[in-house]
Amino acid sequence: MKKNVTIEKRKTFRHGDLRNALVTAGLEMARIGGPNAVILREATRQAGVSPNAAYRHFANQAALLAAVRSACISRVAAAIEEEMKKCHPGRYPQAFARKSLRAVGIGYLGFAMREPGMFRTAFSVPPPVHSPDPANTASMGLNPFQLLSLALDRMHESGLLSKKDRKDAEYLAWSTVHGLALLVLEGPLHKMPHEMVLALGERLVVMVERGLSSEIAH
């Protein structure tokens, strides 16, 4: 029934790479069942090791969970990057800026839909995302928050956003997509069909783009 992928009974007394094995196992559990599903004992089991061995690498299960969370955040960042790669700076900086902002929002939401467990794990309880912890980044070296900032900078530089409106705009923009994602993943919008979520996502980023700037209409 249970396919223990990783228990190929090692022959060395030392595992060699236990810390990583535990995080990997935890990541898979998070992927399937969210943050509450990352069980310390189960991780050691999958690594083919006694429960206590984990305590040589993590202070407690919260520490393990924190490591798993970092990994999840990196995945989010990677998903956003993937989306951002699709937009190139052409001759119209404003179009580029808009596309960048949209990429962040859609990348974020897309990941949430594709990997609900990891997404929920990424954003719960005490993540030090704000401080640029390299463990949270993907290939560009930016965490999701910084990727969003980048997109907003492009908006500002291209004249789409005044300096005043640019300030703290990441919080507003992020709130929006994050809220939709969580309402769908573990909230009352639980059974909303995927395509509708994505359609709402499109409307949402438009709303953000329009709503951020105080220029047009007061």
Partner DNA sequence: AGCGTATGTGGACGATGTTTACTTAGTAGC
Partner DNA sequence: GCTACTAAGTAAACATCGTCCACATACGCT
Binding site residues, its own copies, CB under 8 A: 36, 123-130, 145, 168, 171-172, 174-183, 186-190, 200, 203-204, 206-212, 216-217
Provide the angle, in degrees to the nearest 10, between the axes of the packed helices 144-157 and 93-114.
Answer: 160
Q: How far is the CB of 189 from DNA (least distance, A)?
A: 26
Task: Name 160's Cβ contacts closer than 8 Å, sequence gap at least 6.
Answer: 94, 97, 98, 209, 213
Please state whether 188 falls in left (phi above 0), alpha (psi between -120 and 50) or beta. Answer: alpha
Kindly tell me which of 47 and 79 has the beta carbon lying closer to its own copies.
79
49 binds DNA (CB under 7 A): yes
| Residues making up the chain, counted from first to last | 218
41 binds DNA (CB under 7 A): yes
56 binds DNA (CB under 7 A): yes
Pick what 145 binds: its own copies, DNA, none; C-beta below 5 to 8 Å, kind-dependent.
its own copies
Q: Which residues from 62-121 bind DNA, rule CB under 7 A?
A: 62
Kindly tell me which of 61 and 158 has the beta carbon lying closer to DNA.
61
Pick what 16 binds: DNA, its own copies, none; C-beta below 5 to 8 Å, kind-dependent.
DNA
6 binds DNA (CB under 7 A): no
Contact footprint for DNA (CB under 7 A): 12-16, 18, 39-42, 49-53, 55-57, 60-62
